[in-house]
C-alpha cells in the first residue's frame, strides 16, 4: 500500500528564513533572464518519467514554455495555468536539465526516480478486522441508547468528546471534508448517506476523472482512504461505527498509483486544485508525497516538487480550503538538527542520507498553512510511532497505540473504522490522527461558517486541550530507554503542539 500515514506518513511552520512564495524563484534551477528560449539537442532513449515544470502564470510565458517542452521531447499531460504548474511526460534523460534553461521556467524536475513499478508497503501492522471482515456484528442493534453497535470500542470518540458533541451539533451538510487518499468505498452503509459524489474524483496521473466510481479504491487492499473517511463522518444510523462529525459530508479524491500504491506529486497537485475548484472546505492528507520522505530544497528535482505542491496548496487556501496532514510514523523529531532518512527514494533503491529538517521537508505536512497533526493513545500520551517537533506540531488527535490499552470490550488501543465491502477494522497511525482533527475542524466550520482557513486553524488551536510534556520518562515500550524528548511549555510543545483536539468544545 501507499504512503498513507499509517505507513505513515505525517503541519508545521515554515522554517525560519525559508518562507515559500508562490514561485519559489530562489530555488536551484531557476532560469535567468539570459537563458535560452528553447533547449538544444534532444535524446529519447531514457525511461518515460513524469515531470513538473513550474512557470510564471501569465499566458504568454506558459504558451512559450509549452513550445519549449515539445522541443525538449516532452508531452504536456495537463497545465494548471492558474498556478503555473505543467505536468509533462518525457523519455529525454536530459529533459529536466534542458527545460530549466528556458526563459520563464522557475523550477522543474522529475517527480520520480524510475518508471512505474511494483512497490512494497510499510503499513504499521495489518488491519485487525471485526468478525473476520464481515458486517454481521456491525449491523446488530446498539447495546446502549444513542450509540452505534460498535461504538463501545471507539474510545477515541469519548477521548475528544465527540460522542457528546454529536448530541449538540453533528456537523453541517454544507461542510465537506475531502479525503485525499487511496479512494473511498462510498457504497459502505456507514458512508453512503454522507458522501459527496460531485466533489469526488480520481486524480492519479494529474488529470481529474469524475466518472462514476472513479474515486473508489482499486481493490479491497486499498482500504486506507475508506478507514479515514469513516473516522471523519461515519453516520449515526444504527449501523457499525460513528465518525467525529457524523453530519458533515466527505468526498474522495484518489491519488494512489494503481501499480505502485505511491502518491506522486502530480496527483496531489491535481487533488488540491480540484478540491479548491469544487468548494471543498477541508482536506485530509494522511500520506507523504513519494518518492521522497523528505524533499530537500538544494536538489533541483525535489525543489520543483515542493514548489509545485506548494502552489496547489496555496491556491486551495486562497479559495477557502483548510488542509490537515499527518505528522508521520517515524518517531522523528522534525525540529531537530538532523534526521536519518533510509527510505528514500521509495520507487527505486533507497539510499541512507542525513537531512536537515529545516531545508528538507516532508510534504504536504510541512508546507505553509498546512495543519500538522501528531497522534495520541487512550492515555492522552503521544503514540510511540508519531513524529513530533516543537514549532512543527500544530495539534494532536487520537491515532491509536498498541501500548496504551483502553477499558473497552475489545481492549484494542488502535482506531476502529470503516473498510471496503461493508467491513470494519482497527488501524493505528498518524494517518488516523489527522482525520480526527479534520472532523473537529469540520465541526468548527459548521459552528462558524464564516471562518476561513486561517481562522479555522486558530480555532482548532484555541479549543485544544494540552496535557503538557510527560513528567516521567517517555518509554512506551518499557525498555527503560527514553524513546523521544518532549520540549516546550504546557501551552505549546513538541508532542502535542497546541494540544489535543476537543470536539465538544468545538460545538459549544
Alpha helices in 422-499 (DSSP H): 430-447, 453-463
Nearest residue to 108 via CA among 119, 123, 122, 98: 98
136 contact partners, CB below 8 Å, separation of at least 6: none
| CATH class of the structural domain 128-467 | alpha beta
Q: For the chain, give percent helix, strand, coil, nearest 5.
A: 25, 20, 55
| Cα first-last separation, the chain | 39
Nearest residue to 2 via CA among 271, 262, 215: 262
Cell of 47: 525511461
- 193/298 Cα distance (integer angstroms): 47
Torsion of Cα atoms, 305 then 308 then 313 then 318, to 10°: 160
- 430/344 Cα distance (integer angstroms): 20
- Residue pLDDT, tens place only, 289-346: 999 999 999 999 999 999 999 999 999 999 999 999 999 999 999 999 999 999 999 9
Torsions phi, psi for 398 (to 5 deg): -60, 125
The DSSP code sequence of 18-71 is ----SS-TTSTTPPPTTS-SS-------S--EEEEEEE-SSHHHHHHHHHHHHH
Nearest residue to 402 via CA among 125, 158, 10: 125
Cell of 170: 453533528
Torsions phi, psi for 389 (to 5 deg): 155, 130
* CB 264, CB 111: distance < 8 Å: yes
Q: At what angle do helices 265-277 and 300-318 cross, to 10 degrees?
A: 10
Residue 231: in which H helix or E strand, if any?
helix 224-233
Nearest residue to 162 via CA among 398, 396, 408, 496: 398
Q: State residue 9's pLDDT score.
A: 36
- Classified as helix, coil or strand, 361 is strand
Residue 370 gets which letter from DSSP?
Answer: P
| Cα dihedral across residues 283, 287, 292, 296: positive or negative | positive
Residue 269: in which H helix or E strand, if any?
helix 265-277
Which residue is it, cell 521531447?
Answer: 73
* CB 235, CB 190: distance < 8 Å: yes
Q: State residue 132's pLDDT score.
A: 64
Q: State residue 14's pLDDT score.
A: 34
Cell of 293: 520522505
Q: Which sequence spans correspond to the domains of the chain?
A: 128-467
Q: Over the chain (508 residues), what is each successive 10-residue block's mean pLDDT?
A: 45 35 43 49 85 97 98 97 97 97 98 66 69 57 79 98 98 98 98 98 97 96 97 97 98 94 96 98 98 98 98 98 98 97 96 95 97 98 98 98 97 98 97 98 98 98 97 95 97 98 97
Which residue is it, cell 487492499?
Answer: 221
* CB 251, CB 214: distance < 8 Å: no
Q: How many helices (H) and strands (E) does the chain have?
A: 10, 18
Please state, in angstroms and as integers, the Cα–Cα distance from residue 262 to each residue in 1, 253, 255, 354, following that order. 7, 14, 8, 23
- 386/376 Cα distance (integer angstroms): 8
Which residue is it, cell 522554517?
Answer: 15
Q: State residue 45's pLDDT score.
A: 80
Amino acid at each position: 500500500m501507499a504512503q498513507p500515514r499509517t505507513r505513515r506518513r505525517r503541519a508545521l511552520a515554515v522554517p525560519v528564513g525559508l518562507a515559500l512564495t508562490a514561485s519559489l524563484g530562489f530555488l536551484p534551477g531557476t532560469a535567468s533572464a539570459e537563458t535560452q528560449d528553447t533547449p538544444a539537442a534532444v535524446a529519447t532513449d531514457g525511461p518515460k518519467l513524469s515531470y513538473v515544470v513550474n512557470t510564471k502564470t501569465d499566458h504568454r510565458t506558459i504558451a512559450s514554455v509549452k513550445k519549449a517542452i515539445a522541443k525538449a521531447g516532452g508531452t504536456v499531460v495537463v497545465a494548471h495555468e492558474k498556478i503555473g504548474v505543467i505536468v509533462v511526460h518525457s523519455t529525454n534523460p536530459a529533459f529536466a536539465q534542458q527545460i530549466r534553461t528556458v526563459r520563464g521556467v522557475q523550477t522543474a524536475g522529475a517527480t520520480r526516480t524510475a518508471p512505474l513499478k511494483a512497490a512494497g508497503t510499510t503499513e504499521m501492522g495489518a488491519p485487525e478486522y471485526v468478525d473476520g471482515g464481515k458486517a454481521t456484528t456491525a449491523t446488530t442493534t446498539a447495546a446502549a441508547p444513542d450509540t452505534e453497535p460498535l461504538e463501545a470500542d471507539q474510545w477515541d470518540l469519548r477521548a475528544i468528546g465527540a460522542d457528546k458533541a454529536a448530541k449538540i451539533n453533528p456537523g453541517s451538510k454544507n461542510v465537506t471534508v475531502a479525503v485525499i487518499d487511496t479512494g473511498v468505498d462510498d457504497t459502505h452503509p456507514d458512508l453512503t448517506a454522507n458522501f459527496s459524489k460531485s466533489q469526488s474524483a480520481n486524480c492519479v496521473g494529474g488529470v481529474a476523472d469524475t466518472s462514476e466510481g472513479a474515486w473508489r479504491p482499486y481493490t479491497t487492499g486499498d482500504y486506507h482512504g475508506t478507514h479515514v473517511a469513516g473516522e471523519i463522518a461515519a453516520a449515526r444510523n444504527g449501523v457499525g461505527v460513528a465518525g467525529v462529525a457524523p453530519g458533515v459530508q466527505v468526498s474522495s479524491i484518489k491519488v494512489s498509483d494503481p501499480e505502485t500504491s505511491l502518491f506522486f506529486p502530480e496527483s496531489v497537485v491535481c487533488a488540491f486544485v480540484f478540491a479548491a475548484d469544487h468548494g471543498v472546505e477541508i482536506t485530509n492528507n494522511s500520506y507523504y508525497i513519494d518518492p521522497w520522505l523528505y524533499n530537500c530544497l538544494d536538489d533541483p528535482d525535489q525543489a520543483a516538487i515542493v514548489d509545485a505542491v506548494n502552489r496547489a496548496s496555496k491556491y486551495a487556501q486562497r479559495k477557502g480550503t483548510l488542509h490537515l496532514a499527518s505528522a508521520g510514523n517515524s518517531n522523528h523529531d522534525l525540529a531537530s538538527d538532523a534526521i536519518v532518512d533510509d527510505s528514500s527514494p521509495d520507487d527505486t533503491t533507497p539510499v541512507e542520507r542525513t537531512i536537515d529538517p529545516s531545508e528538507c521537508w516532508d510534504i504536504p505536512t510541512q508546507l505553509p498553512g498546512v495543519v500538522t497533526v501528531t497522534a495520541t493513545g487512550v492515555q492522552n500520551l503521544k503514540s510511540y510511532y508519531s513524529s513530533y517537533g516543537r514549532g512543527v506540531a500544530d495539534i494532536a488527535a487520537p491515532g491509536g497505540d498498541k501500548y496504551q490499552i483502553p477499558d473497552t470490550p475489545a481492549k484494542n488501543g488502535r482506531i476502529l473504522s470503516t473498510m471496503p465491502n461493508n467491513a470494519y477494522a482497527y488501524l493505528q497511525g498518524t494517518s488516523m490522527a489527522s482525520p480526527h482533527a479534520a472532523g473537529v475542524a469540520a465541526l468548527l466550520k459548521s459552528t462558524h461558517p464564516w471562518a476561513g482557513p486561517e481562522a479555522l486553524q486558530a480555532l482548532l488551536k484555541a479549543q485544544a486541550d494540552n496535557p503538557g510534556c510527560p513528567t516521567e520518562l517517555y518509554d512506551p515500550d518499557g525498555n527503560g530507554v527514553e524513546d523521544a524528548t518532549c520540549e516546550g511549555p504546557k501551552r505549546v510543545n513538541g508532542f502535542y503542539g497546541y494540544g489535543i483536539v476537543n470536539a465538544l468544545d468545538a460545538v459549544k
